[in-house]
Chain A
Amino acid sequence: MTNSGSNKFRLLFFLLSLVFISGGYARTPDFTLTQPDSWKPAFSSTFEKGLYKTRLEIGKHKLSGMMFMKRTSDSTFRVVFANEIGMTFFDIEISAVSATVHAIFPSMDKPALLKTLEQDLRLMLIRDPFITKIMPCKIKDESKRTYKTKSSWGKATYFVEQDSQRLYRHKSARSMINRTEIRYTYGDPKIPVSIYLVNPTIRIHLYMNLLNN
C-alpha cells in the first residue's frame, strides 16, 4: 500500500468512526436531558383529570362516547373511552415508556391498532422526555414559533403560540408511514377544550371536546 493510499484509508476509517459514534449517540435516548422551555405541553404537570365528548373514526368505523383521562402518577395517565350507554371501548394506562391495556372491546383488540392508539395518546398526554435535538425554525407569522425535534419517539414539529408558549399543533413522524398530527384549541381552562388527532396511514380521526375537568 502506498503512502497516499494509506492516508486515504485512515481518513475513511476516521470519517466512518465519526459517523458510527455520532449515530450511536443520536440513537441513545438521553434520560437526563433538560427539557426545553420553549413550549408548554398541552397537558401540564398540574393536569389531574378531564372528561371529553369523543368521536373516534377508524377507517369506516365510527365510535362515539366519552373519554376520561386521569393522571395516576407523576408520569402515568389512565385513559378510558366508553360509549354513551357505558360500555368500555378501551381502558389504557400510559407512561413515556410503557402501556398497559386494562380493557379493550373485542373488535378493537388488534395489536397494530392498540400500538398506534398507545403511541398517539402518549404523544397527546406526555411531553417527550427523549428529545436529543431541537431546531427552531423561522416562520412568517411572528406570533408563532416552530420547533423541529429529534427523539427516540421519532421526528416531530411543534407549533407554539409565541406569547402563551402554548402548543397548538403537533406533527410527529415515527417512521415514513407512521405519522400523526394533533391540533389543540384552548379556552378558559388550562387544558385543551378541543383536540383533533389524525393518523392518515391507519386512517384514525379522533375528535374531542371538553365536557368538564
Chain B
Amino acid sequence: MSKQRCLLAALLLLFMPSMVFSQQGFTPLKDPSAFKKRVAESSSKIFSIESTFIQEKNLSVLSEKIISKGKFYFRKEKSLRWEYTDPYKYLIILHDDKFLIKDEGKVSKFDVQSNKMFREINTIFLGCVQGTLLADEKRFSSTFAENNSSYLVKLKPLETPMKETLKEIWIYFGKTDLMVSKLEMHEYSEDYTNISFTVKNINQTITDDKFRIK
C-alpha cells in the first residue's frame, strides 16, 4: 500500500507542473532558451512604451477584488512612470535611480538602492519591461509555458526579502509582439494582484517632463 502511495506521489510530482499549466490551457514550453533569446531581441528594439493598465488585487478568501486603473510610461534605460488615476491619484516615478512618490499633493523622494523594498519593486517593474527578469537565474527560478495566444513565465523569488513576500511572479507575453500583456504577483495567502496592460503605444517620444514631478 505504501509503495503504491509513493508511486502515486512521485507521479503527481512529476506531472504537477504540466497539470497546473494545462488547467489554464498552458503546456510546458519545449525550448525556453530560444524564447528568452527572442524576448531579449524584441526588448532591445523597444525604446519606449506608453500604456494604460488595470490592476486587480484578488482577495481569494473574501471573493473580492480591489480594482485600480492608470497609465504606465517606460523609457529606456531606467525611466518609468506608474500613474494611478482610479480610485485615487497616486504617482510613482523611477528616474535616475531615484524613486519619487506623489500622494495627496505630497512628494516623497527615495534613493532606489538605499531602500530594499523600492529596489525590489524596481527589479520587478523594469525587469518585466526589459525582459531581464527571465535571465536572472540567481534571483529567480523559472518555468515556461505557452498556449495559443500567450507565453507564461512563472518566476519564484530565491532571495530575501522578495521571497518572504511573494510566492511567485507570473508574466504573460503576447505571442504576436512578445511584450508583457499581464503581470501577476502571487502571495503566500493565495491572494494575488494582476496588472493587465491594455492599449499600448510603442517607441513614441516620451518627454522628460513625464519623469518629473511638478
The reply to whether chain A is a binding partner of chain B is yes
User: A-side interface residues toward B, CB under 8 Å?
Assistant: 49, 51, 53, 64, 66, 68, 70, 72, 78, 80, 82, 84-88, 91, 102-103, 105-106, 211-212
CB of B193 within 8 A of chain A?
yes
Known: A49-B64, A211-B87. A103 touches B59 (CB 8 A): no
The CA-CA distance from A64 to B106 in the complex, in Å, is 12
Cβ contacts under 8 Å, A91 to chain B: 189, 191
**Closest A-B pairs by Cβ, 4 of them:** A86-B193, A103-B189, A86-B57, A106-B164
B49-71 to A contact mask, C-beta < 8 Å, 1/0? 00000010101011010101000
- Pairwise interchain contact B193-A68, C-beta atoms closer than 8 A: no
- Pairwise interchain contact B61-A87, C-beta atoms closer than 8 A: no
Cβ contacts under 8 Å, B187 to chain A: 87-88, 103
- Pairwise interchain contact B191-A53, C-beta atoms closer than 8 A: no
Which chain A residue lies CB-closest to B121?
A85
The CA-CA distance from A106 to B162 in the complex, in Å, is 10
- Pairwise interchain contact B185-A87, C-beta atoms closer than 8 A: yes
Q: Chain A's interface: helix, strand, loop or mixed, by majority? A: strand
- Pairwise interchain contact A212-B87, C-beta atoms closer than 8 A: yes
The CA-CA distance from A212 to B62 in the complex, in Å, is 16
Pick from A51, A78, A106, A212: contact of B165, CB under 8 Å: A106
- Pairwise interchain contact B62-A78, C-beta atoms closer than 8 A: yes
Question: Whole-angstrom distance from the CB of A118 to the nearest CB of chain B?
Answer: 17
- Pairwise interchain contact B66-A68, C-beta atoms closer than 8 A: yes
Pick from B84, B90, B193: contact of A87, CB under 8 Å: B193
- Pairwise interchain contact B191-A103, C-beta atoms closer than 8 A: yes
Cβ contacts under 8 Å, B195 to chain A: 86
The CA-CA distance from A13 to B57 in the complex, in Å, is 64
Pick from A49, A78, A80, A84: contact of B68, CB under 8 Å: A84
Cβ contacts under 8 Å, A66 to chain B: 66, 87
User: A66-B87, A86-B66, A103-B191 are known contacts; what are 16 more A-B pairs with Cβ within 8 Å?
Assistant: A51-B66, A68-B62, A70-B62, A84-B84, A85-B82, A86-B185, A86-B193, A87-B166, A87-B185, A88-B187, A88-B191, A91-B191, A105-B165, A106-B161, A106-B164, A211-B88
CB of B103 within 8 A of chain A?
yes
B135-162 to A contact mask, C-beta < 8 Å, 1/0? 0000000000000000000000000010
6 contacts between A and B (CB under 8 A): A66-B66, A85-B121, A85-B193, A102-B189, A106-B165, A211-B87
The CA-CA distance from A77 to B164 in the complex, in Å, is 26
The CA-CA distance from A59 to B63 in the complex, in Å, is 33
The CA-CA distance from A86 to B66 in the complex, in Å, is 9
